[in-house]
């Protein structure tokens, strides 16, 4: 057998972890050892894992901070929910409907990524972060203000209220302003969620280890050096950003088809959500795909298992963000770490000599 | 007449944004970092005044001074604990830390004061002025807010122009390394900037909550972000820019709310930010800085 390279081995381990976790959960479910509470958060776990891996593509691989990741998720969720609701009768097979909805959600989120990327990716650092944040809030605001209806004459849209849609009698309201979309068919389940997680991992890991991925990482490490060896900065930045956006859209599709009611509140698609995904990425290790997946799963499961910590959860997240950053970057901490590891190294050498 | 009263409301809100934006713009100019937690310092300042006035019954001027003192200490402590160790770290790390601090403050306030909205009683006891046969009503809050904003702006510009510490701030924002070689205490100057910015945040918090009397742990977040938008709008690092940006943003927000859609007001404000950054990334009064290899 041909010997596997280190990166292939590492990615196979990642896929293996997902498969093993899936089998473990399935066995627990089949044998009836899983509480209904735990069953209820299996799909959210998948959603967060996809979000964390996709945000890591922007933050860890591209090296730009996006605070509007929940905005892309929102676009994916609403685009696909509109489709599924309109097609609920026309396409009776749930799986076919879901796949089509997924494609639409991903495409819409990706398109938004490109549209927002054109102006945003010219900026750097803090400006980019604040504009992505602004974008996320704009999306949430717009969706909360919009009313969309469908009747025999086609779509009606209004920013005021349901009455000003002027629909025929057979009309059906799809988006009801701040009340969102109700009655989306729940086409998603745990198996579909895990398949999507695997797909996300395959896409991101392949991208990172390809020539394109190396170009993206060179932009992160030194933009000017990358430009001087002929790497098209805008193209690669845009590529990474829009792929990250469309994967977030996929998570949104999963979210929309897991719940019967879809609203855009600050809890699920707002700034807080974007920060939570960022916490997953930071804690899992910026740039580590497997790390962000595991962090997302653990941090979603942990508060459910430790209910008493719920009040302090956000506080702990905040402290985790600060402490992780200081431990990784402050000169004092770096020095301490180096001394410690050197001591270990010397220790090893002494043993070898003996 | 309704247009004029909307305009006045806009200028009043804009003055609050301008005072908050000052804190952002000074810190950004000197430490080259976006202090995300600035908005939450506002919230803490408002809670201090709320507790001092409503619970312990302290007189208003004393409680405002107390709030400014608490915020100043808070600002300096945040800088010392969270930002100073990361002075030479990557921008991403600093930004994530700042977000962490912002989140930390929100959740501490949530644990101490609870999530329910507190009714903040206005600290302004001035009577409203009636103009044009009672058609135009200017509230005391509006007058005090605009006056406070102008006084703060003038004092701050004089401080930077004429005092030694102000010169040190200018020098550090121009070139930190060179300033250090000239014998300027860079860390001290940065701490002073945080102290001034945070004290201003306390004042802004009191004015904001006097006009919009509801206080929750998330009160500071949105005005904070909007004030950053104002700072970017006017050109980050520029004090008159923060003033102009703040006023313009306040007027745009109130007029947008009145004439376009109240739900879309935030979306309008943020669209302004994106347009400004695309058309003129350095803002109205900002300087173009060439990047060197």
pLDDT digits (tens, 9 = 90+) for B18-37: 999 998 888 888 888 888 89
Q: Which residues contact A80 (CB under 8 A, 6 or more apart)?
A: A101, A102, A104, A105, A108, A252, A253, A256, A257
* CATH entry, A6-305, from 1.10.10, 1.10.3470, 1.10.287, 2.30.230: 1.10.3470
pLDDT band at B99 (very low <50, low <70, confident <90, very high): confident
* Partner-chain contact B93 A329, CB within 8 Å: yes
* Partner-chain contact B263 A329, CB within 8 Å: no
* Partner-chain contact B89 A59, CB within 8 Å: no
Choose among B99, B232, B270: nearest Cβ to A138: B270
Backbone angles phi, psi at A92, to 5 degrees: -80, -25
State the pairing for strand pair B129-131/B118-119.
Answer: unpaired
Query: Is pLDDT at A35 greater than 90 in this prediction?
Result: no
Mean model confidence pLDDT for chain B: 87
User: Which residue reads 């810190």 in tokens?
Assistant: B27
Query: Is pLDDT at B259 greater than 90 in this prediction?
Result: no
- Residue A307, pLDDT score: 67
User: Rounded to an integer, what distance in angstroms lies between the CA atom of residue B223 and that of residue A218?
Assistant: 37
Query: Is pLDDT at A352 greater than 60 in this prediction?
Result: no
Residues of B in contact with A311 (CB under 8 A): 111
First vs last C-alpha separation in chain B: 56
* Partner-chain contact A330 B274, CB within 8 Å: no
pLDDT band at A284 (very low <50, low <70, confident <90, very high): confident
pLDDT band at B40 (very low <50, low <70, confident <90, very high): very high
Please tell me if residue A122 touches chain B, with a CB cutoff of 8 Å.
yes
- Report the Cα A314 to chain-centroid distance in Å: 19
Give the CA distances from residue B273 to residues A134, B21, B98, B167, B232, in Å, rounded to whole numbers and listed in that order. Answer: 8, 14, 21, 31, 8
Instruction: Give the mean pLDDT of B247-254.
Output: 92
**Length of chain B measured in residues:** 293
Say if CB A156 and CB B289 are below 8 A apart.
no
Number of neighbouring beta carbons within 10 Å of residue A166: 11
Residue predicted with more confidence, B277 or A78: A78
Structure tokens at B65: 């001074």
Percent of chain A with pLDDT over 90: 29
Q: Nearest CA of chain A to the CA of B181: how many Å?
A: 21
pLDDT digits (tens, 9 = 90+) for A78-105: 999 988 888 877 777 888 888 999 999 9
Q: Which residues pair with A151 in a beta bridge?
A: A154
The DSSP result for B65-129, as a single string, is HHHHHHHHHHHHHHIIIIIGGGTTS-HHHHHHHHHHHHHHHHHHHHHHH-SSPEEPPPS--PPPE
- Residue B293, pLDDT score: 54
Q: What is the ipTM of this complex?
A: 0.80
For chain A, which residues make up each domain, given as ranges?
A: 6-305
User: Which residue reads 């350095």 in tokens?
Assistant: B282
pLDDT band at A2 (very low <50, low <70, confident <90, very high): low
Which region, left, alpha or beta, applies to residue A146 given φ > 0 means left and ψ of -120 to 50 means alpha?
A: beta
- Residue A149, pLDDT score: 79
Give the number of beta-carbon pairs within 8 Å between A and B: 129
Please tell me if residue A131 touches chain B, with a CB cutoff of 8 Å.
yes
Query: Is pLDDT at B124 greater than 90 in this prediction?
Result: no
Structure tokens at A253: 């599709």
Residues of A in contact with B278 (CB under 8 A): 119, 122
Neighbour-count burial of A35, counting CB atoms closer than 10 A to its CB (0-12 exposed, 13-18 middle, 19+ buried): exposed
Closest CA to A142 of A208, A71, A93: A71
- Structural domains present in chain B: 2-279 (1.10.3470)
pTM listed for this prediction:
0.84
Query: Is pLDDT at A353 greater than 70 in this prediction?
Result: no
Residues of A in contact with B263 (CB under 8 A): 141, 144-145, 178
Query: Is pLDDT at B50 greater than 80 in this prediction?
Result: yes
Residues of B in contact with A134 (CB under 8 A): 225, 229, 270-271, 273-274
Q: How many helices (H) and strands (E) does chain A have?
A: 14, 5
Choose among B92, B103, B229: nearest Cβ to A63: B92
Number of neighbouring beta carbons within 10 Å of residue A160: 13
User: Which residue reads 């081995």 in tokens?
Assistant: A9
Chain B contact residues (CB < 8 Å to A)? 28, 33-34, 82, 85-86, 88-97, 99-101, 103-104, 106-108, 110-111, 221, 225, 228-229, 232, 261, 263-264, 266-267, 270-271, 273-274, 277-278, 281, 293
pLDDT digits (tens, 9 = 90+) for A172-209: 777 777 778 887 778 788 899 999 999 999 999 999 99
- Residue in B78, B96, B101 to test binding to A, most A beta-carbons within 10 Å: B96
Instruction: Give the mean pLDDT of B95-117.
Output: 89
User: Which residue reads 């995904």 in tokens?
Assistant: A277
Give the CA distances from residue B201 to residues A252, B34, B39, B208, in Å, rounded to whole numbers and listed in that order. Answer: 37, 15, 8, 10
Query: Is pLDDT at B157 greater than 80 in this prediction?
Result: yes
Q: Nearest CA of chain B to the CA of A247: how many Å?
A: 22
CA angle A77, A82, A85 (to 5 degrees): 115
Chain A, 80 to 119: residues with Cβ < 8 Å from chain B are 119
User: Rounded to an integer, what distance in angstroms lies between the CA atom of residue B253 and that of residue B10?
Assistant: 7
Mean model confidence pLDDT for chain A: 84
- Residue B231, pLDDT score: 87
DSSP symbol at A172 = E
Instruction: Give the mean pLDDT of B84-97.
Output: 84
- Residue B152, pLDDT score: 93
User: Rounded to an integer, what distance in angstroms lies between the CA atom of residue B284 and that of residue B286?
Assistant: 6
Query: Is pLDDT at A166 greater than 80 in this prediction?
Result: no
Most confident of the ranges A196-205, A257-266, B236-245: A196-205
Chain A, 137 to 176: residues with Cβ < 8 Å from chain B are 137-138, 141-142, 144-145, 159
Structure tokens at A342: 């050197």
pLDDT digits (tens, 9 = 90+) for A39-92: 888 899 999 999 999 999 999 999 888 888 999 999 999 999 988 888 877 777
Choose among B95, B107, B264: nearest Cβ to A315: B107
* Partner-chain contact A318 B93, CB within 8 Å: no
- Residue A244, pLDDT score: 95
- Residue A125, pLDDT score: 66
Q: Nearest CA of chain A to the CA of B73: how many Å?
A: 19
Please tell me if residue A278 touches chain B, with a CB cutoff of 8 Å.
yes
Q: Nearest CA of chain B to the CA of A147: how many Å?
A: 13
Query: Is pLDDT at A215 greater than 80 in this prediction?
Result: yes
pLDDT digits (tens, 9 = 90+) for A103-159: 999 999 999 999 888 877 777 667 788 888 888 888 888 888 888 877 777 777 777
Say if CB A75 and CB A249 are below 8 A apart.
yes
* Partner-chain contact B100 A333, CB within 8 Å: no
* Partner-chain contact A330 B86, CB within 8 Å: yes
């Amino acid at each position: 057998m041909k010997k596997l390279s280190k990166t292939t081995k590492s990615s196979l381990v990642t896929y293996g972890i997902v498969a093993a976790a899936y089998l473990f959960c399935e066995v627990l479910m089949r044998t009836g050892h899983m509480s209904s509470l735990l069953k209820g958060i299996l799909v959210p776990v998948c959603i967060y894992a996809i979000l964390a891996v996709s945000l890591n593509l922007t933050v860890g691989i591209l090296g730009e901070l996006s605070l509007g990741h929940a905005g892309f998720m929102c676009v994916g969720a609403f685009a696909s929910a509109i489709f599924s609701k309109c097609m609920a009768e026309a396409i009776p097979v749930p799986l076919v409907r879901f796949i089509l909805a997924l494609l639409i959600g991903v495409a819409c989120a990706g398109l938004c990524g490109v549209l927002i990327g054109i102006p945003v990716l010219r900026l750097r650092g803090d400006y980019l972060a604040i504009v992505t944040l602004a974008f996320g809030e704009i999306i949430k605001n717009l969706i909360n203000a919009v009313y969309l209806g469908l009747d025999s004459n086609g779509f009606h849209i209004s920013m005021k209220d349901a009455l000003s849609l002027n629909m025929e009698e057979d009309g059906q309201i799809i988006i009801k302003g701040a009340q969102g979309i109700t009655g989306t068919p729940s086409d998603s389940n745990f198996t579909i969620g895990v398949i999507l997680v695997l797909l996300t991992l395959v896409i991101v890991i392949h991208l990172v280890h390809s020539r394109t991925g190396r170009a993206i990482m060179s932009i992160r490490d030194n933009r000017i050096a990358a430009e001087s060896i002929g790497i098209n900065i805008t193209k690669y930045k845009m590529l990474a950003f829009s792929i990250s956006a469309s994967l977030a859209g996929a998570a949104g599709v999963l979210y929309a088809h897991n719940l019967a009611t879809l609203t855009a509140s600050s809890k699920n698609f707002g700034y807080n959500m974007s920060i939570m995904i960022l916490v997953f990425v930071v804690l899992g290790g910026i740039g580590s795909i497997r790390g962000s997946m595991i962090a997302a799963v653990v941090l979603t499961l942990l508060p459910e298992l430790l209910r008493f910590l719920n009040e302090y959860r956000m506080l702990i997240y905040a402290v985790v963000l600060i402490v992780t950053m200081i431990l990784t970057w402050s000169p004092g901490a770096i020095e301490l770490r180096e001394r410690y590891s050197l001591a270990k190294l010397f220790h090893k050498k002494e043993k070898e000599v003996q | 007449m309704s247009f004029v009263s909307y305009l006045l409301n806009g200028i009043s809100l804009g003055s609050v944004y301008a005072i908050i934006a000052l804190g952002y713009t000074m810190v950004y100019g000197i430490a080259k970092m976006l202090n995300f937690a600035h908005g939450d310092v506002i919230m803490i300042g408002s809670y201090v005044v709320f507790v001092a006035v409503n619970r312990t019954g302290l007189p208003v001027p004393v409680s405002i001074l107390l709030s400014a003192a608490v915020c100043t200490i808070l600002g300096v402590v945040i800088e010392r604990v969270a930002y100073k160790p990361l002075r030479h770290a990557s921008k991403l790390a600093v930004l994530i830390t700042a977000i962490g601090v912002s989140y930390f403050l929100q959740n501490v306030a949530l644990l101490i004061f609870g999530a329910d909205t507190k009714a903040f009683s206005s600290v302004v006891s001035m009577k409203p002025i009636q103009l044009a046969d009672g058609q135009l009503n200017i509230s005391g809050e509006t007058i005090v807010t605009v006056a406070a904003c102008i006084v703060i702006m003038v004092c701050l510009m004089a401080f930077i122009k004429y005092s030694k510490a102000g010169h040190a701030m200018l020098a550090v924002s121009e070139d930190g390394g060179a300033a250090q070689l000239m014998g300027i205490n860079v860390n001290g100057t940065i701490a002073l900037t945080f102290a001034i910015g945070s004290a201003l945040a306390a004042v802004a918090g009191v004015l904001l909550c006097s006009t919009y009397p509801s206080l929750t742990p998330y009160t500071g977040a949105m005005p904070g972000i909007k004030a950053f938008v104002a700072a970017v709008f006017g050109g980050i690092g520029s004090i008159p820019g923060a003033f102009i940006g703040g006023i313009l943003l306040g007027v745009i927000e109130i007029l947008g709310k009145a004439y376009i859609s109240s739900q879309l007001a935030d979306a309008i404000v943020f669209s302004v930010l994106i347009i400004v950054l695309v058309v003129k990334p350095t803002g109205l009064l900002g300087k173009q800085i060439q990047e060197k290899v």
